[in-house]
Amino acid sequence: MSSSESKQRPVGKRFPGFKLSACLLFLAFLILLCLWSVGAAPTVALNSPANDANFNYNTVNTVLNATASDADSDPLTVEFFVNYTSPINDAHALVYKQISVAAGSTLTYNITSVPYNAADTANNWILLHLDNRSEYGELTTMARDFSPRNLNATCAGSTCPEFGYTSCKFGGCMYFDGVDDNYTINGTSFSPPSEGTLTLWLNASVCNAGASKRCRFFGTGDQFEFKVLNSTITTYLVTNEACAVGSNILYSSGLNYNQLYFVALTYNTTTDVLKTYVNGVLNKQDKNASGACTVGVLRLGRVAIAGEYYKGYLDDVVFWNRTLTASEIWNLYQINNGTYDWRVNASDASLETESNSWYFTVGGNVVETTINATGLAFGGIDANTNNNPNVGGGPIRLTSTANSNIAVDVYINATNMSFGANNITAPNISVWTADVAASSTPLNQSPAYLNNSGANQGFYENLAANSNVDLYFWLDVPSGQAPGAYAGSLNIRVVQDGGTP
């Protein structure tokens, strides 16, 4: 066959792998390009408290600590979740959120309470976390009701409150401008129950309505509303004719503007009793002639009165159709006994990382107290002298700041008192609740606590809530002991009445 008669081979046949190889190379390029554009996922490290930590004494004041990193140095959104359930129920567990966090940052959150989790399915009528979470359908114009009744809160245009992360208790919260911001809850007529409880975290500002006006933050009208009354010095919480009441009741307890408080208000038309709690403690109770509740549109940030809008922040608004007890209200304000799971999520613009869940346990002996000193110091004292008073001779004051229905037992001990290389053992220290050395009781040898480590054997039994005990200390210096200014640390364990240290 002549060259003129030869046939040309098709390219595909001459190089049979070319098309396939080119496609694979192009696909690999696209994958690499995609991976490059997405970058690395963030990383999260839980630092403290250690997994399975226990907290048994004094004020519950647990600081959660975690580090969020990103190999690409992308700014991160970091969320802390804490729940009294396992596994964590994300809907009710967001306690802290920060945006635009620099990669490699360590964040902390002081967990003193957790959001309400809709456990009372029969009586929880409204539950607004106000966290603006799109994953649960929340929008600028809608705050989801997480209660079983699904009474979502809605707004329109400029009347919508502004979402933010500052001045909040949990996650995020809503700021109401005092001009026209408000939500309508469910958008239809609301018939208030014959008894109920409203709880919320409130950070109020001076109302735009004027010094004599009322900032109304929840209700249907004059006969069913909860509000803040303007004052030049303090904020007054007011519940006006809330079904059980026939006149205004002012709750003035030195509440300051621009400060966050946990507020609970209860009413009952059977007993005609209304109560207000501030930070878990009963603030005022009153009894008035009952009146009819206003049936109407339920609003948050205002009621049906024109021009008297609430100004400030609101967070975690919950309403029940029953009267909560004092202990229930306290447990909403203060983290209580049990095991809590926690974790941290970090996300950049493309990827999200969820940490492992750790947990910590709060024991049955947790109470809330303050003490004005934790050290003992005895001045230049001589050997073979007794009843040398703590420097200044004044007492160390212990205050129970727990809820009104909680009494506490006080257990005491101290380290050895030291002066240079010289030590005086703890049993040479004595204590009493009055400045009478002759009545004082020696401290036990460390680490036991006076008087014993058993229940109901503390040094001071049944210290009532919101009351003090003054503790006076003396030191005996044994014969042959070097003279000097001896000092050491005071150890106090405070437990709920009947508990052990």
CA–CA separation, 468 and 470 (whole Å): 7
> Is the separation of the CB atoms in 155 and 174 below 8 Å?
no
CA–CA separation, 373 and 401 (whole Å): 16
Which residue bears the tokens 């506490």? Answer: 408
> Is the separation of the CB atoms in 166 and 224 below 8 Å?
no
Structural tokens at position 461: 């039994």
- DSSP states of 353-412: EEPPPEEEEE-TT---EEES--EEEEEEE-TTEEEEEPTTSPPEEEEE-S-TT--EEEEE
Per-residue pLDDT of the chain (501 residues; tens, 9 = 90+): 444 343 333 434 444 444 556 667 777 666 655 555 557 899 999 999 989 887 754 444 578 999 999 998 999 999 999 998 778 999 999 999 999 999 999 999 988 899 999 888 889 999 999 999 999 999 999 999 999 989 999 999 999 999 998 889 999 999 999 888 999 997 777 878 878 899 999 888 877 755 455 667 777 765 566 766 554 323 333 344 444 433 344 454 556 788 888 988 888 777 777 788 888 877 777 765 455 566 778 888 887 666 678 888 999 999 999 999 888 888 898 887 778 999 999 999 889 999 999 998 876 554 667 788 778 888 888 888 999 998 866 788 888 775 545 677 788 888 888 898 888 988 889 999 999 988 888 887 656 777 666 666 778 877 877 788 899 999 999 888 888 999 888 878 777 666 666
Structural tokens at position 235: 């904020």
CA–CA separation, 183 and 185 (whole Å): 6
User: Residue 365's closest CA among 411, 434, 311?
Assistant: 411
CA–CA separation, 12 and 19 (whole Å): 8
Which residue bears the tokens 């009153």? Answer: 286
> Is the separation of the CB atoms in 501 and 420 below 8 Å?
no
Largest CA distance in the chain: 133
Pairing of strands 358-362, 53-55: parallel
The Cβ of residue 269 has, within 10 Å, a number of other Cβ atoms equal to 20
In sequence order, the β-bridge partners of residue 162 are 175
How many Cα atoms occupy the beta-carbon half-sphere of 265 within 13 Å? 26
Amino acid sitting at position 419? F
CA–CA separation, 485 and 228 (whole Å): 54
Structural tokens at position 500: 């052990």
CA–CA separation, 390 and 297 (whole Å): 63
Structural tokens at position 292: 């009819």
In this prediction the pTM is 0.67
Q: Which helix (H) or strand (E) holds 239?
A: strand 235-240
> Is the separation of the CB atoms in 452 and 497 below 8 Å?
no
Preceding peptide of 49 cis, ω within 30°: yes
User: Residue 196's closest CA among 270, 85, 103?
Assistant: 270
Structural tokens at position 430: 């004595």
Preceding peptide of 451 cis, ω within 30°: yes
The Cβ of residue 321 has, within 10 Å, a number of other Cβ atoms equal to 17
